Structure 1
Amino acid sequence: MKHLIILLIVTSLLVITGCVVSKESSDVSRLIVQSSKIQKELVDTTVFKKCSIIFLETNDNSLLRRINRICYADEKLFILDRSLNKILIFNMEGKYISEIHQVGQGPGEYLSIMDFCVDIVKKQILVLCDRPYKIIAFDFDKKVMFDKKLDGLYFNITADSGYAFCNKLEISNEKGQKYELYRISIESDDVFHYLPIRTNIGSNRVYKGNQITSTQNTYYTRRFDYGIYHLDGNDVYRKYTFDFLDNSIGEFS
């Protein structure tokens, strides 16, 4: 008897419960979070514009253990399972299409996946690997387009105009690392860096989730920072900042 994997897909509106948006002179939108207005119950119709329930086909090739990231592009769902080191591809009816599972030590292969993204413009899947350190690009037919070595461990990836935005750990033992966010050229050796690492951040941490998110715009968040950073071409700047008023615990610079 086949087991069904049910995937709930929601399209969200930019609504933050208990928040008031105000514009500062520096063009940074301040989101005031008033805890007294936060309710335990959430009226989901104020947050979700659309909801779809997708029953994913289950067969010998489409088995999942854990979902780490989902990307939607070209009327397809791309689902990363890091524990199995593969990316599964389904259509919007839940039918299994194919998978990327190129485990090995040769060109276009990897031992472990850290993250991935979909370049909608070039119709490519960029796979960020942590063993070894590199980015592999596949087209939607799983053909290897390039295999680019990296200088160290990166955690998240998103594509932007021929570049890949990737982030490193805030605290690193890598020699010479001074920044945590990088824009890496896909077609050349150009690398640009942003956001200096903060020396007063401790190394003890819990899992931080996906810090780079991309829909119509690309944003970056980091711990002990109330800001949301906008990744815009060759520029990175703070777009929003949360103000918890009397409940703020301070910010690390």
Structure 2
Amino acid sequence: MKQFIPISALLLALVPGGCAHETTSANYATIAVDLQHVDKCETDDYTEVFTEPRYTLLRSLDKNDMIGTADKVVVTDDLIYVADFRNNKVVSYSKRGIPQKVLCRIGRGPGEYLLLCDFCVDEDGNLYVNDARLNKVIKYDAGFNFMNDWEIRYDIESFEMLDNNKFLAVLSAWNEGKYENIELALLNGEMEVETPVIMYDEFVDRNVEIAHAVLCKTDRGIFYHRTIDDNVYLLDNDGNITEKYHFSFGEQSVRDKERLNVEKYWDNFKNRTFLCGQIVVFPENVYGTLCDKMENRQFVWTRGSNEIRIENCQDEIPNIGMICGVAGNRLITYIPASDFDATRNFEGFNLTDMDVDDYSLVLCTYEIE
């Protein structure tokens, strides 16, 4: 039986080591990132990294559009899409944070799903969601009306729409048959595997999933990272690898034998550090989360000065908020309503005059480079 271990059961740090994954792309640079020898900075001062963020209150008009977290955020020219995977929900908001549409259709019928695990949006505003339980991808129009669905013969963890109307998808390690060992692949418009991009190496545990792999679309391209892997890939909008970043954590790195059998060596992870969740690499800074000795920590590493700011994000909300996405060259974080400083004023909204039930979350948008 496959076992899923969420990041919250592991948590923070950084891990090196491990064999290189086989890729079908050629002629890309591999860049070493040494996080063993960095200077730690105070985490209450990000003035050298960010300017003052723009805040957006995600309003809640009724219980249907209430969300508890922002697992993924996609920003288009007109709308903000926020997914709360625990509640099987995607909500679209205006740029002022007013709910527009809610997608939450639980079931087995047309346009319904059982386990929402990812979504993406095309240039026409059509929404695609992945149902990890029923193994299908569902397409809705901009008004969240059901359009089409595709039954797929393999498990997908994450996917993203490309500019050429194809998809980049992360396939689960336990797929069999002709999909066995495919880690990252290009899919055509019918959700069929067209070209493998990255193949799993021999040190992947096919019985355990430690959080979902993440694809993050930015102005630089699409970043891909899988938890307990020290490599972060940057791909262009045609799905070609352009750069690979290899992160090094020295003696705290996860060993190959531990990656191969996580359950057997579970106690060893108490002394390990590895990347987990969303990682994005920009010329000046690297943003992401690591699991360090079973604790999740969010970090911002400034490459030029070699300074790193690390905050606990397992039991606390970091000062800049929880990273939940990138829009172009802007970093998106969120802060729960109950944790936000209610003395701030935002474009006509005074939080001191509002009940906490009137809004779900506060999104923070930082210009990064």
Q: Determine if the TM-score, normalized by the shorter chain, exceeds 0.5.
A: yes
**Partner Cα separation in structure 2 for residue 231 and residue 243 of structure 1:** 17
Of the three residues 248, 253, 260, the one matched with 1:249 is: 253
**Partner Cα separation in structure 1 for residue 65 and residue 132 of structure 2:** 23
Q: Percent same amino acid at aligned positions? A: 19
Which segment drifts farther, 25-34 or 156-165? 25-34
Counterpart of 2:151? Answer: 149
**Partner Cα separation in structure 2 for residue 26 and residue 141 of structure 1:** 40
**Partner Cα separation in structure 1 for residue 108 and residue 75 of structure 2:** 29
Closer, same or farther: CA 37–242 of 1 in aligned 2, 3 Å: farther
Closer, same or farther: CA 27–207 of 1 in aligned 2, 3 Å: closer
1:75 aligned partner, one-letter code? D
In the TM superposition, what are the counterparts of 1:30-109 in structure 2 within 5 Å? 30-33=32-35, 35-41=37-43, 43-49=45-51, 51-58=53-60, 59-109=62-112
Closer, same or farther: CA 193–187 of 1 in aligned 2, 3 Å: same
Taking structure 1 as the reference length, the TM-score comes to 0.76
Closer, same or farther: CA 203–71 of 1 in aligned 2, 3 Å: same
Q: Deviations over 1:86-132 (max 9, x none)?
A: 1111112121111112222222221221111122x232211111121
Say whether residues 1:164 and 2:167 are aligned partners: yes
**Partner Cα separation in structure 1 for residue 249 and residue 99 of structure 2:** 48
Q: Deviations over 1:42-87 (max 9, x none)?
A: 6323333451222222223211233321111133221111222111
Does the 8 A contact of 2:159 with 2:169 survive in 1? yes
Closer, same or farther: CA 98–162 of 1 in aligned 2, 3 Å: same
Closer, same or farther: CA 222–30 of 1 in aligned 2, 3 Å: same
Closer, same or farther: CA 49–76 of 1 in aligned 2, 3 Å: farther
Of the three residues 234, 241, 250, the one matched with 1:237 is: 241
2:31 aligned partner, one-letter code? S
Of the three residues 130, 138, 142, the one matched with 1:136 is: 138
1:137 aligned partner, one-letter code? K
**Partner Cα separation in structure 2 for residue 188 and residue 168 of structure 1:** 12
1:220 aligned partner, one-letter code? Y
Of the three residues 217, 226, 231, the one matched with 1:227 is: 231
1:91 aligned partner, one-letter code? S
Of the three residues 99, 116, 120, the one matched with 2:119 is: 116
**Partner Cα separation in structure 2 for residue 49 and residue 239 of structure 1:** 28
Alpha-carbon distance, 1:226 to partner: 2.8
Greater relative contact order (Cα 8 A, min sep 6): structure 1 or 2? 2
**Partner Cα separation in structure 2 for residue 36 and residue 233 of structure 1:** 32
Alpha-carbon distance, 1:166 to partner: 1.3
Does the 8 A contact of 2:216 with 2:222 survive in 1? yes
**Partner Cα separation in structure 1 for residue 38 and residue 223 of structure 2:** 28
**Partner Cα separation in structure 1 for residue 194 and residue 50 of structure 2:** 38
SS in 2 for 1:102: coil
**Partner Cα separation in structure 2 for residue 111 and residue 101 of structure 1:** 10
SS in 2 for 1:45: coil
RMSD value, Cα: 2.9
Closer, same or farther: CA 188–117 of 1 in aligned 2, 3 Å: closer
Gaps spanning 5+ residues in structure 1: where?
A: 1-24
Alpha-carbon distance, 1:246 to partner: 4.8
Which segment drifts farther, 151-160 or 242-251? 242-251
SS in 2 for 1:61: helix
Does the 8 A contact of 1:79 with 1:89 survive in 2? yes
**Partner Cα separation in structure 2 for residue 237 and residue 251 of structure 1:** 25
**Partner Cα separation in structure 2 for residue 184 and residue 149 of structure 1:** 13
Alpha-carbon distance, 1:245 to partner: 7.2
Does the 8 A contact of 1:227 with 1:238 survive in 2? no
Does the 8 A contact of 1:225 with 1:251 survive in 2? no
**Partner Cα separation in structure 1 for residue 136 and residue 206 of structure 2:** 24
The count of aligned residue pairs is 227
**Partner Cα separation in structure 2 for residue 80 and residue 188 of structure 1:** 22
**Partner Cα separation in structure 2 for residue 220 and residue 122 of structure 1:** 24
Say whether residues 1:212 and 2:215 are aligned partners: yes
Closer, same or farther: CA 66–243 of 1 in aligned 2, 3 Å: closer
**Partner Cα separation in structure 2 for residue 250 and residue 130 of structure 1:** 28
Gaps spanning 5+ residues in structure 2: where?
A: 1-26, 260-369
